[in-house]
């Protein structure tokens, strides 16, 4: 069988080569069709023979989530959603794919990573690459001019996956954005506040939120003598500084992108700037920068942003960093990125061969022009937002849970109904039915005949706190036995009051904090 | 501009025709390439000119969810999830796309509705068509032989959308499945119990769960003289009976699928059977059916299922119906489908031109062979499950909410911080910061200067129950003003105890049930 298979595959290969050659030579159409049909016939044979042999896997760069992982993931989501709601956000949802043209021209060099759907007739579609462009499309389409919304959903990038570093082709983004014509830096500062609240609540160690400004970057490029049409490509190069040494970035600028070496060296000086309001003030005295209106505006806005961050009590978590550029084309103002700096982060970095630092766990910025790109009259809706990089956070939480060695419950079952003798299916069905009716989370075995010992074991393995036992004598006396699994306490309770008794026991366990 | 555009489009059209003709004629390759390039050049011009003119829409058959819709949707989800958890289910997640071959050969006639991804190099992928096949793939891949799981996620079908009837190309499924080698009908009955619990909890009026059995159908087909190889096609025809009259279905069987008219007429007799255990018992005396082992097994299992349903107290919601067939190939045992029969359902049906009834709101069945199709040794894992048709339920809930005319809150904001005078940004930032710190859901304006009256209006429009007011005199006295929006009560509280006071007010409002 395996041999036949191999021969067949060789035949397919050579037939495929023949077809390609005929096509390349512009051979007669009928001839090509004939040979293509032969090829399809051969492939079909392989399909029949190999029907049990396909690779059993998820697509490259994707993964399943098992119940234990889901429990961790939902814990992380609930903390993030709690924060978004604390800040008064609504939520929306958009389709997983968009018209291809909706995504076109929004992502610069990254556009090649967009997943296209096959053309099966009808519209040309592509999977969403982020949640920001669909959000902008939503605002323009529904003529929404102000909203504060969060959106938690999967996005898709045909990137080179590095799953051990939390980089996937399908991954969740948790986005919070504020759209509307508001006063300078007030929404921007709240986004940064939100990032600090979320990262603190997850208890993953120290972190810093780097901030910079696209106008300052553009002004700086102008001051260094970068030609206008090279702003975005040079900005893309600067963006690589978190993962690449300056010398390599400089090479890319000069050799690949044709930048004057002197300009590159000047940029090299500026991108070393980092700190707080003091450093912003220092740059405000730089004659070269001051001459650039853009740079001046950027610096003034950063100063106001840092002042607000101080009032929000998060100044110690925020760091002005001129080397921060962000890859995407659509940013127009403040940009920021949160990176972990604590020991948890270091441990993860060591495990995962990350070259420098552990990369970003949140990022965002202001994009005042994006909605206008979707409006027929170009009407702008200023926006600022943040995206939480949930996969990396999730990897860290998963590692923490594994280290804690505490068994995580994946169900919330409160009561397990057990028969004391064989063949009590009818009684069990009536009991579980009554408990479900009372909104008590209840399970039972799907076997007709069960063994008590195995049933108790099941409760222990799954952390089910209570067992309800029914046997012939209990039926005769109109009672059930209620067993607290943790303490092994067991008591008889009248069937009429079993729901009450269970609720009392559950409340007692909860207040003892020993439910799980 | 519009004229130029039109001319350009005409040029593109005729150039496109030329290219198609050349290709059809098997013209010289170089010539084809040349003309294709001309076509691309023209299209590019259109792209440049038309850059602001693209259609602003979501893809055909899909929609956005605005915050108000999300609030309803999340309400429905939370009731469904509560039920799944009450029955002790875990949850898993799988990628939105699968290897194309994973989906191949699982959906019979419906396979043509699968969305393929474009071949951009690498694996051939397709969007998931349901959650059942990915679940089976998950079980086989991870060698899981028993699990009770729910999965709520979007699935994709290139169907003819009928959005006013709740039929979309992207839609949520809420699946609950029990996998494992268990005793007859125990998991199957629980799935039906779950459907009744969910539909009751949503308060959408009366419903009935139709049940049938694939083995009984196959046995009946054999008894009617349907040849083996026509079982599945004839089953597909029977499946149309909920939307099509018998005469049309009979035509399809005889004229399109070549069935003997006598066999069709016999089928016509059987599919009229419906009722309870009585009708099952009646069929058990049918000599024709009894001669078929399959039919006998199916009837015995249905009898047991209906007995369990009685013990679960849902017999009045369940109806044995021989005309129920279910479209998908993979079912092997009990099948069921829930349909609404109450006045809500009728109203929706009238609004939406539904031909007969309002269609299914939940469906499922047993599929014992599916996991084995993914296992290299063909190891089977018996499964039974149910899928809740959330979009239709959601449409009904949305219509109900609209009819109730009660404004639905889309945020959970508890306190709005308002400045009594202009320019109190610093004070406001400090206040909201303190409230967020105390986990109180708080908002404020993103404007530096605000008008009290507008701010109060905002609270009223958005159902925010409390306003916290700060002014120059309050700052001087170390107090804030707390206003209960509903009663317009206002009191001064010391700044040091404002968090306490807010919590007290919120608790009072909650116990009055007047928060919203």
Q: Residue ranges of the domains in chain A? A: 2-49, 67-404, 415-512
- Which tokens belong to A263? 């300009």
Is the pLDDT assigned to residue B50 strictly greater than 60? Answer: no
pLDDT in tens, A284-298: 999 999 999 999 999
Considering only CB atoms, which chain B residues are within 8 Å of A425?
Answer: 186
Is the pLDDT assigned to residue B326 strictly greater than 50? Answer: yes
Task: Find out if CATH 3.40.50.800 is the number for domain B415-512.
Answer: yes
Is the pLDDT assigned to residue B47 strictly greater than 80? Answer: no
- What distance separates the 2 farthest-apart alpha carbons in chain B? 96
- Which tokens belong to A424? 């009590």
Chain A touched by B380 (CB under 8 Å):
no
Q: Which of A216, A418, A405, A417 is CA-nearest to residue A324?
A: A216
Interaxial angle between packed helices A214-223 and A231-239, expressed in degrees from 0 to 180 and rounded to the nearest 10: 110
CA distance A122 to A140: 23
Confidence of residue A348 (pLDDT cuts 50, 70, 90): low
Buried b (16+ CB within 10 A) or exposed e, B134-172: bbbbbbbbeebeebbbbbbbbbbbbeebeeebbbbbbbb
Is the pLDDT assigned to residue B156 strictly greater than 60? Answer: yes
- In this prediction, residues A297-307 reach a mean pLDDT of 97
Indicate yes or no: CB of B90 within 8 angstroms of CB of A122: no
Min Cα separation B409/chain A (Å) = 9
Indicate yes or no: CB of B89 within 8 angstroms of CB of A52: no
pLDDT of residue A357: 44
Confidence of residue B32 (pLDDT cuts 50, 70, 90): confident
Q: Which of A32, A51, A59 to mutate to test the interface with B (most CBs of B within 10 A)?
A: A59
Indicate yes or no: CB of B142 within 8 angstroms of CB of A64: yes
pLDDT of residue B515: 43
pLDDT in tens, A351-382: 554 433 456 899 999 999 999 999 988 899 99
pLDDT of residue B418: 97
- In this prediction, residues B103-132 reach a mean pLDDT of 92
Indicate yes or no: CB of B54 within 8 angstroms of CB of A120: no
- In this prediction, residues A166-182 reach a mean pLDDT of 94
Helix (H) or strand (E) holding B75: helix B67-86
Question: What's the CATH architecture for B67-404?
Answer: 2-Layer Sandwich (3.30)
- In this prediction, residues B465-481 reach a mean pLDDT of 96
- Nearest residue on chain B to A447, alpha-carbon basis: B183
Between B23 and B185, the more confident residue is B185
pLDDT in tens, B256-304: 999 999 999 999 999 999 999 999 999 999 999 999 999 999 999 999 9
pLDDT in tens, A8-52: 777 888 888 888 888 878 788 888 888 888 888 777 666 554 444
Considering chain A, what percentage of its residues have pLDDT values greater than 90? 72
- What distance separates the 2 farthest-apart alpha carbons in chain A? 96
- In this prediction, residues A171-194 reach a mean pLDDT of 97
pLDDT of residue B20: 82
A96 Cα distance to chain centroid: 14
Chain B touched by A429 (CB under 8 Å):
yes
Lowest-confidence pick of B391-400, B467-476, B506-515: B506-515
Beta-bridge mates of residue B481: B469, B492
Indicate yes or no: CB of A53 within 8 angstroms of CB of B138: no
In Å, what is the CA distance from B246 to each residue of B240, B275, B363, B444, B491?
A: 9, 19, 22, 63, 72
Chain B touched by A140 (CB under 8 Å):
yes
Three-state secondary structure call for residue A19: helix
pLDDT in tens, A68-103: 999 999 999 999 999 999 999 999 999 999 999 999
* A residues 282-321 closer than 8 Å to B (CB): 308, 311-313
Is the pLDDT assigned to residue B6 strictly greater than 70? Answer: no
pLDDT of residue B250: 94
- The average confidence (pLDDT) of chain A is 90
Considering only CB atoms, which chain A residues are within 8 Å of B120?
Answer: 115-116, 158
Is the pLDDT assigned to residue A332 strictly greater than 90? Answer: yes
pLDDT of residue B353: 46
Helix (H) or strand (E) holding A399: helix A390-404
- Which tokens belong to B226? 């349907």
pLDDT of residue B54: 67
Considering only CB atoms, which chain A residues are within 8 Å of B64?
Answer: 92-95, 138, 141-142
- Which tokens belong to B492? 């001064």
Q: Which of A366, A429, A466 to mutate to test the interface with B (most CBs of B within 10 A)?
A: A429
Chain A touched by B91 (CB under 8 Å):
yes
pLDDT in tens, B407-464: 789 999 999 999 999 989 999 999 999 999 999 999 999 999 999 999 999 999 999 9
pLDDT of residue A406: 75
Out of B59, B67, B376, name the one closest to residue A125 (CB). Answer: B59
Considering only CB atoms, which chain B residues are within 8 Å of A378?
Answer: 52
Considering only CB atoms, which chain A residues are within 8 Å of B101?
Answer: 54
pLDDT of residue A54: 67
């Amino acid at each position: 069988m395996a041999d036949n298979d191999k021969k067949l595959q060789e035949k397919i290969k050579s037939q495929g080569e023949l077809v390609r050659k005929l096509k390349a030579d512009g051979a007669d159409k009928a001839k090509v069709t004939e040979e293509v049909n032969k090829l399809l016939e051969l492939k079909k044979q392989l399909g029949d023979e190999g029907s049990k042999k396909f690779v059993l896997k998820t697509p490259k760069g994707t993964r399943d989530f098992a119940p234990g992982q889901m429990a961790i993931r939902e814990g992380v989501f609930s903390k993030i959603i709690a924060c978004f709601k604390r800040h008064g956000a609504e939520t929306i949802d958009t389709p997983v794919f968009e018209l291809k043209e909706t995504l076109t021209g929004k992502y610069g060099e990254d556009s090649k990573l967009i997943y296209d759907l096959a053309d099966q007739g009808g519209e040309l579609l592509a999977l969403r690459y982020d949640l920001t462009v669909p959000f902008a499309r939503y605002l323009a389409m529904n003529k929404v001019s102000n909203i504060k919304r969060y959106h938690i959903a999967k996005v898709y990038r045909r990137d080179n996956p590095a799953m051990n570093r939390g980089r996937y082709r399908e991954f969740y983004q948790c986005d919070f954005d504020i759209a509307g014509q508001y006063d300078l830096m007030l929404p921007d500062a709240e986004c940064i506040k939100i990032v600090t609240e979320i990262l603190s609540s997850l208890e993953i160690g120290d972190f810093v939120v780097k901030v910079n400004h696209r106008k300052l970057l553009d002004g700086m490029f102008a001051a260094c003598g970068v030609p206008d049409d090279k702003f975005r490509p040079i900005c893309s190069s600067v963006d690589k500084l978190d993962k690449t040494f300056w010398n390599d970035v400089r090479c890319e600028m000069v050799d690949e992108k044709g930048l004057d070496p002197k300009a590159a060296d000047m940029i090299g000086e500026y991108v070393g700037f980092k700190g707080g309001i003091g450093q912003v003030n220092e740059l405000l005295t730089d004659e070269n920068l001051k001459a650039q209106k853009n740079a001046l505006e950027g610096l003034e806005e950063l100063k106001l942003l840092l002042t607000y961050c101080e009032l929000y009590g998060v100044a110690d978590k925020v760091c002005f960093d001129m080397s921060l550029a962000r890859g995407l084309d659509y940013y127009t103002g403040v940009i920021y990125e949160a990176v972990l700096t604590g020991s948890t982060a270091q441990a993860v970095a060591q495990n995962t061969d990350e070259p420098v630092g552990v990369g970003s766990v949140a990022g965002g910025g202001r994009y005042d022009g994006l909605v206008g790109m979707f409006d027929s009259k170009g009407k702008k809706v200023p926006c600022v937002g943040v995206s939480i990089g949930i996969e990396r956070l999730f990897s860290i939480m998963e590692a923490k849970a594994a280290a804690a060695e505490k068994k995580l419950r994946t169900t919330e079952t409160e009561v397990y109904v057990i028969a004391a003798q064989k063949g009590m299916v009818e009684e069990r069905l009536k009991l579980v039915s009554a408990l479900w009716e009372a909104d008590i989370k209840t399970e039972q075995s799907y076997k007709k005949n069960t063994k008590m010992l195995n049933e108790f074991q099941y409760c222990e393995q799954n952390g089910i706190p209570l067992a309800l036992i029914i046997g012939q004598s209990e039926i005769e006396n109109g009672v059930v036995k209620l067993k607290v699994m943790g303490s092994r306490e067991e008591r008889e309770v009248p069937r009429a009051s079993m729901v009450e008794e269970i609720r009392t026991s559950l409340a007692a366990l909860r207040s003892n904090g020993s439910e799980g």
